[in-house]
Structure 1
């Protein structure tokens, strides 16, 4: 697609990042609202090729002709995309098509498509209706024009195509076409070839501040240098023999935007970047075809703190066509539950959990970590009233990872901690690299690394280029790998044809973006190589500036022996129990072992206010910790009826114990019984509800009032 843009718009495309030039180009493709608000029609104008009237029946009105199969930079292959919109054109299915060829020759042709209204006799005889189009005397109606006023923005119609979709059934939440539809299309057209206008009419929304907005894809909005939303982004390039080539780009949003609360920040980010509830976007030639929701982030990646703050784009353009064609349903709007889609999900999970995302998640989690509550005392109190051999205790043993023994060891080793390293100066990358070198001794002859069969090896390269060099919109660079020489192991014969010619023949490859001066390349041998083979590689860092090469040898080694896990020592039954810690949170700072609402909001985007009772941090299948709000309205109302410090202390203990153990049991039982929670949306659709959100919402809605009136004195005593 990008090659086509450079070919047809060789100079123009370089200026589209400037708003005045982008708006001028966007006039050539317009989506215009028409009709009353409650019965919106859409006009779509494209100043493109256009068609002669006599060609309508084999272009606009044809089905299954496959006239795009050999044009790689256009979407579609069955010639049915335009027809698919008819079913959304009101009860009568009206759609108007008008067109004139780009060179001005010929007439302007038009036709009207509709759903055939069945007569009484037809209704009795036919099972279904059909769609039909207007002809006069067997021909598409046509007449001569120089130009026409069709209500386009800033121009009259001369050539191209215009389509009107009458009474169009827009998705819920889309009213103002210039804004709401713009945000929605920005997600689906992640990186469109050309800018587009979405236009609202003043008579429909007279108070709309910007009735004409240009649309140029979510990618460019995310990668603006002065973005107030995005904290960081990076990309990784993957090659797998079965899947082919993919580029995965991860965008991590700020948990708190300047001038907004955590709640306002999250709502703004969701409205502007996740309008269609798509967290992982899979695109071909810049257009999104299918997606995952945030469920992938919480359940597969196990990064719950990033659930509302992470968008991942997977470019499938260079995937193996045979693999890609098996991923989606025929409608190409959602995944098919097949072995290919399951392999892709597992592949992405494995690589992303080892990527820079893991570092980002750890930083966010560490920022809201303190010593926490005295979980051991709770365990002792709890076990007095619950037999150790009960099913519930067994259930807890299976679910939670922290045990008393680890806690004791932690306290024992506290005096032996190492001093923290001095903080490094922040990395300041250059726009173009001035050096690029392998971070290993390389004499050009001796292999710099041994790569085990069935395993992988990470090679690191040092450079001084900025982190976004590979993914930035303007003047990006690229890392290229090439196979220079191949020396097979002569000890073993074989019947495979010839020697490998390409890097893809010998390695599955992962290439990462520069990260503070380091570029990583991960090599995993394919089945085409054998132990003892020596391979000479050339790695080139290239771009608009100077290019740099590193040439070196690697060798294929024996598979690594699986590491034997030490056998766990048998421990007394009472030492097996493990429980997640709790952390107390207050509106204002209390001490070093507690957090504040502001810390949770600013560092991790976790909203907490007077209505919040607790926030469980769930990572995959593990309840990692529980944040308990000590300034909740529930606790304050309960304590307002008390008068002495002793009563306040007992109330705090009652509250902490009740919230902690009820969260614990609700979580454990839900996981153990394998419940999956869904909620009905306003439009009637079901949406998956994360267990964290479910438990948090449960406690905010009267459940916690019951807890404080429930008798737990036996535990407290």
Structure 2
């Protein structure tokens, strides 16, 4: 075979559809790819651990490539302006860089966003057409029109590890030049990855190299293999170009970088790039600095009408689809001496969307927004660095009803560096299990689960559909059950250890709650895109303080406005609430009633700022140790607006610490028993079923769990506390149980009903009690992520009862039937 030229080698490599085709070309050219032409990545034969121990998820690894592309484009912009990216006059943050390099981007417009998105492209390659029967390997091409590199600089940039090339560049995400290598381990079985680049200023040649896992032989002395890259004639192969047709969307390649990863190991459920991968990347890039484009090929999907699609992060997607999918959204900004500053945004999804039932709605929401099981996202510069699953919502927030309908985003960009660096692994795909992570989890749980917080308000509103009084039914059922059961029996002791069993006392107070004759008429709130007013909710004037704040406590100050709820959170023309310290009057013990120098509010208070909620903005202030009793602080709170800012100036005063309430000491292990869960009958339609009956639709809205003819029981829980047991009186199980009687009379029907709901209620009660008391943790495999995730106790019990278990306990309620069956 004639010796191949560098450009011929490149196109043979690039045009190989997958790992098999690439290996075939390599095998046919042994001289070109001989052992001496490969050099270890980073110049280190022990690089296996560095590359291997990065992202555990192939999508997270792919995201690192796109992050590097964003860094490359911002760096190019900086160089084009004649500024060294490491200089002090270069942007000091990614937001600052975007505002400087793209002052009038207007990417919320489709045409503008699409044009910019073509600067970063993620393209599928592989044989086709694909079908359910034939699934060809998928290779991934990533292109960016960024700074690019000269061939002689490859070994210092693309092919180095742990060199910290970007450590002094403050406006990029990457630091140690290692994140981009994490995707190598997901490149087929042989880890082939092609890298090619040309410098943005059009100087130098177009260079390329191939990375692979070294094929270990018996002669190799190392215990582990390593990763290596291709050299030809002891240098990075290169050739001159003006442009290349590499299958990019709407352009040819001139400068920048292009990477191809062969036979990429995608998780289950990924096929078309314009849809499936697009959604998943949006999750990991909640609010990216730049838009990008995903593209598939007509060879893979000849019948697909949409082969390319731009993306700009999950935040914008949520806002775009707010009317169809989102019922509530709000944000809280926390400034605390523990971590510095962070913004937490909550998105609550509708119980039902479009014309879908509850189950289909949950499936659709999961497919569109939780493909990777990330219910609580922690991000830095818009890229997700770690997450919690829905376990945080049920276990820490105790908001079981919202577990499939709540997405929480935690922006960690402005956190203290010392705190933030202890949260995230270097791979940027998961949280460390350290002290800071535990502190942050506890802080978020305490704030978001607050009894007067927005999330609890939303959950209470959704549960109103089944707010019925069934205490009489429940107590009577328990009394009937215990007629012949001694109070000191093991069963009663088991129940008594978990629930309050008030068997002796009759309900004395039968007075019904008085209903107000005149309903309170609320003034309709008419939100404005921009505020026209902003007032503090206080009658205090002049030097009179609007609030006294205990030194060891906190105080919430409320303001009235007329701006829309998402005024602080929208991407287009958002507003902001600013707080400044104007004066400090120190108390006499600090040298008289003197006016001190103004300070940053974060030096004096831990501050929580809420987004507007129907015309109300809350600011929560908690004094720090800097302040003393009787100190008075003058604050200015400003609500920004395009025309003019609205200012409110007022005083607050620090008061004596609150006395801690003395708690009655409890014996060790004396846990407060729970109230007995209510028994509620549920019907497909509740008309003419009694005032304490509820419909299937009511149950679905109140629990977030679906119910149909196959369902026997639906629990309603808060955390691990069981509040209600909804028993489906229109279930197929009950109908089959009644069908044993030919032409049953009313007494037989009532007896069957009673046996049914009694068996279901008490079996649920005892299963719950045993599982909770023994401390069992239930895990289930997530079909989307293929990982085991914790399942709350309510969901587990519902699944357990759905059909087989309930049929068993009804037909073998007593052992005599089973023993008789065995005897026969």
TM-score by length of 1: 0.93
Would the aligned equivalents of 2:292 and 2:310 in 1 still touch at CA under 8 Å? Answer: yes
In the alignment, structure 1 residue 150 sits paired with structure 2 residue 246: yes
How far apart are 1:680 and its partner, in Å? 4.0
1:130 aligns with 2:226: yes
**Are the equivalent residues in 2 in contact too, given 1:244–1:318 (CA < 8 A)?**
yes
> Cα deviation per residue 1:98-151 (whole Å; 9 max; x = unaligned)?
1111222221111111111123312xx221111111122222111111111111
Q: 1:24 aligns with which of 90, 94, 115?
A: 115
In the TM superposition, 1:591-670 aligns within 5 A as 591-601=690-700, 605-642=704-741, 643-670=744-771
Report the alpha carbon displacement of residue 697 of structure 1 after superposing the two structures with TM: 0.7
Which one of the candidate residues 672, 676, 689 is aligned to 2:773? 672
Aligned pair partner of 2:681 in 584, 601, 606: 584
User: 2:799 aligns to what?
Assistant: 697
* Larger CA deviation: 356-365 vs 440-449: 440-449
Q: Could you tell me how far 1:408 is from its partner in structure 2?
A: 2.5
Q: Distance in 1 between matches of 2:588 and 2:182?
A: 59
Question: 2:703·2:715 contact (CA, 8 Å) conserved in 1?
Answer: no
Given that 1:282 and 1:315 are in contact with CA atoms closer than 8 Å, whether structure 2 keeps it comes out as: yes
CA 1:379–1:143: 2 relative to 1, 3 Å: same
Residues 1:710 and 2:812 aligned together: yes
Q: Helix, strand or coil: the match of 1:537? A: strand
Instruction: Please give the alpha-carbon distance, in whole angstroms, between the structure 2 residues aligned to 1:343 and 1:226.
Output: 32
Runs of 4+ in 1 over 6 A off after TM superposition: 404-407, 565-568
Instruction: Trace 1:178-197 onto structure 2 (pairs within 5 A).
Output: 178-197=274-293
Taking the TM superposition and a 5 Å limit, the aligned residue runs for 1:497-536 are: 501-536=599-634
Residue 109 (structure 1) aligns with: 207
- State the 1:334 CA deviation: 1.7
CA distance in 2, matches of 1:406, 1:239: 50
Contact 1:53 1:141 in 2 (8 A): yes
Deviation of 1:193 after TM superposition, in Å, equals 1.2
RMSD of the TM alignment (CA)?
2.3
Taking the aligned partners of 2:310 and 2:703, their CA distance within structure 1 comes to 33
Q: Does the Cα contact within 8 Å between 1:403 and 1:577 map onto a contact in 2? A: no
- Specify whether residues 694 and 604 from structure 1 end up closer, same or farther in structure 2 by C-alpha distance, changes over 3 A only: closer
- Select 1:365's aligned residue among 456, 460, 463: 463
Give the TM-score taking structure 2 as reference length: 0.82
Structure 2 equivalent of residue 320 of structure 1: 416
Question: Is residue 476–residue 544 contact of structure 1 (8 Å, CA) maintained in 2?
Answer: no
Q: 1:3 aligns with which of 93, 96, 121?
A: 96
Matching of residues 151-170 of structure 1 within 5 Å: 151-170=247-266
CA pair 266-398 structure 1, distance change in 2 beyond 3 A: same
Question: For 2:455 and 2:815, how far apart are their aligned partners in 1?
Answer: 45
1:437 matched to 2:535: yes
Aligned with 1:350 (options 431, 446, 460): 446
Q: Distance in 1 between matches of 2:504 and 2:600?
A: 53
Consecutive unaligned residues in structure 2, runs of 5 or more: 1-93, 128-134, 667-672, 817-824
- 1:242-282 CA distance string (max 9 Å, x none): 21101001000000012111111110000000000110011
SS of equivalent to 2:588: coil
Q: 1:433·1:546 contact (CA, 8 Å) conserved in 2?
A: no
Q: C-alpha separation between the residues in 2 aligned to 1:143 and 1:201? A: 28
For the residues of structure 2 that align with 1:147 and 1:167, how far apart are their CA atoms?
27
SS in 2 for 1:367: helix
- Give, in angstroms, the shift of residue 183 of structure 1: 1.1
Size of the aligned set, in residue pairs, is 699
The equivalent residue for 2:397 is 301
Shift of 1:602: 5.0
Does residue 377 in structure 1 map to residue 476 in structure 2?
yes
Tell me the secondary structure at the aligned position of residue 650 of structure 1.
helix
Structure 2 CA distance, aligned partners of 1:270 and 1:403?
42
Deviations 1:207-239 (A, max 9, x none): 223111111111011112753000110001001
**Deviation digits for residues 478-534 of structure 1, max 9, x if unmatched?**
00011111122222579xxx9672101110000001111111100001111111111
Structure 1 segments unaligned to the other structure (5+ residues): 569-575
Aligned-pair distance for 1:367?
Answer: 2.1
Q: Structure 1 residues 382 and 713, CA, compared in 2 at 3 Å: closer, same or farther?
A: farther
Q: 1:165 to 1:602 in 2, by over 3 A?
A: same
- Is residue 553 from structure 1 mapped to residue 651 from structure 2 by the alignment? yes
Partner of 1:571: none
Aligned to 1:450: 548
Of 51, 68, 75, 2:166 maps to 68
